[in-house]
Structures are given as structure tokens and as C-alpha cells.
Amino acid sequence: MLRQLFENKKIRIIGISAIVLFLMGIPWLITGYWVRLLTSIFMYATLSKAIDLMIGYLGYVPFGNVVFFGLGAYTTGIAMSHGIPFPLAMVMGALISIMVCIFIGVPVLRLRGHYFAVATVGLNGAIMAIALNATALTGGAMGLTFPVLPAPPEIIYRYFYYMMFALMVAAIIVSIIIVKSRFGYAVRSIKANEEAARALGINTTVTKTAIWIISAIITSIAGAIYGFWMSYISTMDVFNIMIGVTCILMTLLGGAGTIIGPILGALIFQFLSEMVWSQFLEFHLGILGVITILVIFFIPGGLVASLKESFTRAKVQHKEAGS
């Protein structure tokens, strides 16, 4: 039943537009706290989508993808403190990320599996150390302050809410386009078997770098918005490897390589985090760890796969009952 509902195209379109309209209207009805929580959920959903492009489709795990988040935030902050308007500063952040991807991505992407994961962590550590010590430019350990918007707080909250929401929608659309395109097939063929993909005439280096660049652009724009939103950033904040790991966890929870999985994972995870274990600050890390272990043991394929499986099972049972 439910599955047929999902498969019906009309109902799908109506459902999606209802959700979008609901999310567009909701910030006018709820308090600032909830608007901020939803904004942070959108941010994590966006970052998880960006990481999932690498994990779910390409099969590479960029453990230190948060480096682009930090680069985006810092570049935007530095540019804005020199009087450059936000949109332009954001683009500059994205350009820096692209450059890092090209110059460092090409050699690093030659590595496979563990080695790639580790090299990205190293990259993050190195760039973080540079940001921390280039005090004249970045403010060093003092952090970096963004110019604050001259408006009452509710309006600022809504402003960033819509910005983050738009970015998340853009990330979803981009991933749908990629999945359906020829490029997307090339990316997934690399995940299945890189040598075979190369033998078929796919330029694996260009494909891998291109998908990483897309992931990096999304991540760095999220970083730029985050910095402007918080109006203060420090290296500990935006180069924090925990952000990247949390996003990997969200992807894992929702289901890697699915359109909606990372979004679902981010939603559930952030809600749980805010509602349940923020009450136990002392055990925050430990509970995060235990939840991770439970997810790995009990829903290894992610929620989306588990749901699909139970739908299929229900369908089979339904058929058997009918015959």
C-alpha cells in the first residue's frame, strides 16, 4: 500500500511540494530556538549530502572533508572583513576550495581506501595549523569576527534559515542530476571497479577530481553561511574533524548512496542530539559513541535500505496472503 503511494508520481510531486511549502512557511510560526535548530539540521544535511557524493557514489571516504568547510568559512570571513560583500566572498571561498581540490586532490586521489581517508585528515590538520598560526590574516587562536547584519534577531534567524534551506535543496537537486547523468554512471562505475572503469575508457582521474570538487563547493558554501550566521569562528570550530565524522555517521545512519538517506540521518541525529543527550553533557561523547556502535550493529545498511527491505517484505506477504 504505502509503497504504491510512494511510487505514484503525482502523489510524490504533491508530497514534495507540500514539504517544501511547509518548510518555507514554518519560520514565521515558531520561536527563534526552533528556527536555529532547523537551520543547523539543514546545515548538517547539506554537509552529509556533500560527503555522501564521495562515500555513497564514488566509494572514497574523505574523513577530513571538513577542511573545505573551514576554508569556506575563513576565506569568506577574511574577504568580508576587507569590505567585500557576502555573495562575492562566498564565491571566493568556493574558488579557494576548488584550487585546493585540484592541486592536492589530483595526487591524493591516487590513493585508495584507508590511505585516502588518512591523507584527507592530514590535509585538514595541516591547513588548520596554517590558519591557526597565520595570525595577521586569520586572527590565529583569537578567531575571526564577521560583520553583523544590522537587523533584529528574528529577521537574521529567518535570513540564514532560508539561505541554508536553499543550499540544502540545491545540494539535493545537484545530487539527483549527477545520479541520472552519464557522469553519475562514470562515478558509480569507479566505485564498483576502478580498473574496469578505466579499461572502459573513463578518465578516472578527471571524474574523481570533478566529483570531489562538487562536494567541496557545497561544503565550502555551507561553511561560508555558517561563519556569517555565527558571526564568529575559530579554527577549533570550523576545522573540527568531529563535524566531518558526525556527517559520515549521519550518512551511515540514513543510508549511503541514496538521495534522501543523508537528509533523514541528519534530521534524526540532530533531533536526538538536541532533545535527548544534550541533557547529559558529561556523557555526550560516550553516548554518541554508543549510538554509533548500535547503528553499525543493527542497521548496517542505513535506515533507507532497512525501510525498503521491510516494504518489500510487506509486499511479498501481502501477495502471499492474496493468492
Partner 1 sequence: MIFEIALNGLMLGGLYTLMGAGFSLQWGISGIINLAYGGMTVLGAFVAFSLFRLVSVQPLVSCIPAAIIMFSLGWAIYKFFLRPTIRRGTFFVTLIMTFAIELVLENFMLYVWASDYRIITSPYSGISVQILHAEVPLIKLIMFAISIACVYLVHLFMSKTKPGKAIQASALNPQGARVVGIDVEKMYAINFGIGAAIGAVAGALMSNITSFSVVLTGSLVGKVFVIAVLGGLGNIWGAALGGITLGLVESYGTITIGSEYNEAIGLVVMVLVLVLRPRGLIGRKYWDV
Residues that bind partner 1 (CB under 8 A): 55, 61, 63, 104, 107-108, 110-111, 113-115, 117-119, 121-123, 125-126, 129-130, 132-133, 241, 245, 248-249, 252, 282-286, 288-290, 292-293, 296-297, 300
Cβ-based nearer residue to partner 1, 179 or 249: 249
Please say which residue, 87 or 113, places its beta carbon nearer to partner 1. 113
Cα–Cα distance measured from residue 68 to residue 233, given in angstroms and rounded to the nearest whole number: 14
The least distance separating partner 1 from the CB of residue 249, rounded to whole angstroms, comes to 7
CB contact at 8 A, 71 and 197: no
Nearest approach, Cβ of 103 to partner 1 (angstroms)?
12
Q: Determine the Cα–Cα distance for residues 95 and 72; give it in Å rounded to an integer.
A: 9
DSSP letter for 27, please: G
Taking the complex as a whole, the smallest distance from the CB of residue 147 to partner 1 amounts, in Å, to: 29
Q: Label residue 193 left, alpha or beta by phi (over 0 means left) and psi (-120 to 50 means alpha).
A: beta
Smaller CB separation from partner 1, 57 or 160 = 57
**Which of 175, 221, 257, 219 is closest to 76 using CA atoms?**
221
Closest separation between CB of residue 242 and partner 1, Å?
9
In the bound state with partner 1, the residue whose beta carbon lies nearer, of 27 and 208, is 208
d(CA 222, CA 95): 14
Cβ–Cβ < 8 Å for 102, 209: yes
Tell me the closest approach of the beta carbon of residue 96 to partner 1, in angstroms.
18
Shortest distance, CB of residue 307 to partner 1, whole angstroms?
Answer: 19
Rounded CA gap, 220 and 74, in Å? 10
Q: How crowded is residue 197: how many other Cβ atoms within 10 Å of its Cβ?
A: 20
Quick one: 110 or 313, whose CB is closer to partner 1?
110
3-class SS shares of the chain: helix, strand, coil, % to 5: 80, 0, 15
Q: Which is nearer to partner 1, 73 or 128 (CB)?
A: 128
